[in-house]
């Protein structure tokens, strides 16, 4: 009997030990899942449940125009996104104005579901987020003072890659990426990410910087109010062509599928082209997305 009691005790102890190990393993797995975000509702799921898309935005006319008095929003990507909301039966709520340098942090932290401004697709944004299909394309100009004659496009703009050339860029902007990648010897004059292109053009005319990278529409708008002050020395051959896209949180491919499908429908219906014409400050300020088919 004593021997049998010892065996029963050992069996009971073994079962208890295995139960504790299993509990600890499950708890550890749950902790790891929680730490890795497994089980957390996706932005797409939250949007469907709330029937609302929360949108962060950067003030960058004419894609996203913020009225200084009323704070009302308008612009190319704003109007298109509102139409996407109507076509998908979802409310579009512009919840937070952000800057280029901080928008991805807030996006991936879940403060908003997407960036609704016209944002240029670049490798860093592609690495850290999910990007929509192109809405339209921007040719990036090299804007200088009207009396500037030192710089030319010979040898891929080698004359700009010198320490005495000051390039005005915003922190976290694509202009900063261009300057660092292509003109490492030039002097970067960095401004906060909320500065905006109009202020950079003023810095240019005040001779605080020598070069500003901006799309044609931005420069044309400035010239309309400041005739003859600046010129685009890359008008015939933009230094870069960038797709304007919506920016979505990392891993949100189902959300991308919804936005892409709705966007393609608006491009095929002519809504996107009509919206571009509404805000286009001059001929050929924007490049349209090519149709994915042809009629023979």
Q: Is pLDDT above 70 for 152?
A: yes
CB atoms near residue 158 (< 10 Å): 13
Q: Is pLDDT above 80 for 55?
A: yes
Tokens matching residue 62: 């004419």
- The answer to whether domain 139-241 has CATH 3.40.190.10 is yes
State which CATH number among 3.40.190.10, 1.10.10.60, 3.50.50.60, 3.30.930.10 fits the domain covering 43-137+243-279.
Answer: 3.40.190.10
Band (pLDDT 50/70/90 cuts) for residue 30 is very low
* pLDDT at res. 285: 87
pLDDT, tens digit, for every residue of 190-199? Answer: 999 778 889 9
Q: Which residue, among 168, 162, 214, 165, has the nearest Cα to 191 in the 3D structure?
A: 168
Q: Averaging pLDDT over each range in 4-8, 14-18, 183-187, which range is the top one?
A: 183-187
**Average pLDDT rounded to a whole number, residues 108-123:** 93
Band (pLDDT 50/70/90 cuts) for residue 169 is very high
pTM for the full model? 0.75
Peptide bond preceding 62: is omega within 30 degrees of 0, i.e. cis? yes
**Average pLDDT rounded to a whole number, residues 129-136:** 97
* pLDDT at res. 226: 95
Query: Where is average pLDDT lowest: 11-20, 36-45, 95-104, 262-271?
Result: 11-20
Q: Where are the domains of the chain?
A: 43-137+243-279, 139-241
Cα-flanking dihedrals φ and ψ of residue 54, to 5°?
-90, 125
Residue labelled with tokens 């005040």: 206
Same fold, 43-137+243-279 and 139-241: yes
Cα R_g (the chain), whole angstroms:
26
């Amino acid at each position: 009997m004593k021997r049998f009691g010892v065996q029963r005790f050992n069996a009971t102890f073994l079962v208890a030990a295995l139960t504790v190990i299993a509990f600890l393993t499950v708890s550890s797995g749950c902790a790891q899942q929680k730490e890795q975000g497994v089980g957390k509702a996706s932005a797409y799921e939250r949007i469907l449940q709330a029937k609302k898309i929360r949108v962060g935005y950067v003030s960058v006319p004419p894609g996203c125009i913020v009225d200084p008095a009323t704070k009302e929003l308008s612009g190319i990507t704003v109007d298109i996104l509102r139409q996407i909301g109507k076509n998908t039966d979802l409310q579009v709520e512009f919840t937070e104005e952000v800057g280029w340098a901080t928008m991805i942090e807030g996006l991936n932290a879940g403060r908003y579901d997407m960036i609704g401004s016209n944002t240029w697709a670049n490798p860093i944004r592609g690495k850290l987020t999910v990007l929509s299909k192109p809405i339209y394309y921007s040719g990036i100009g090299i804007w200088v003072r009207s009396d500037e004659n030192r710089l030319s496009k010979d040898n891929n703009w080698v004359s700009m890659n010198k320490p005495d050339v000051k390039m005005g860029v915003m922190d976290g902007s694509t202009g900063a990426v261009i300057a660092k990648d292509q003109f490492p010897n030039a002097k970067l004059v960095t401004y906060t990410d909320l500065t905006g292109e109009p202020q950079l053009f003023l810095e240019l005319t005040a001779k605080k910087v020598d070069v500003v990278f901006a799309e044609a529409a931005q420069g044309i708008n400035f010239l309309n109010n400041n005739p003859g002050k600046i010129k685009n020395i890359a008008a015939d051959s933009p230094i870069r062509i960038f797709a304007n896209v919506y920016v979505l949180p990392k891993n949100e491919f189902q959300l991308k599928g919804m936005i892409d499908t709705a966007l393609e429908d608006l491009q095929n219906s002519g809504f996107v082209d009509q919206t571009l014409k509404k805000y286009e400050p001059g001929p050929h300020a924007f490049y349209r997305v090519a149709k994915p088919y042809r009629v023979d």
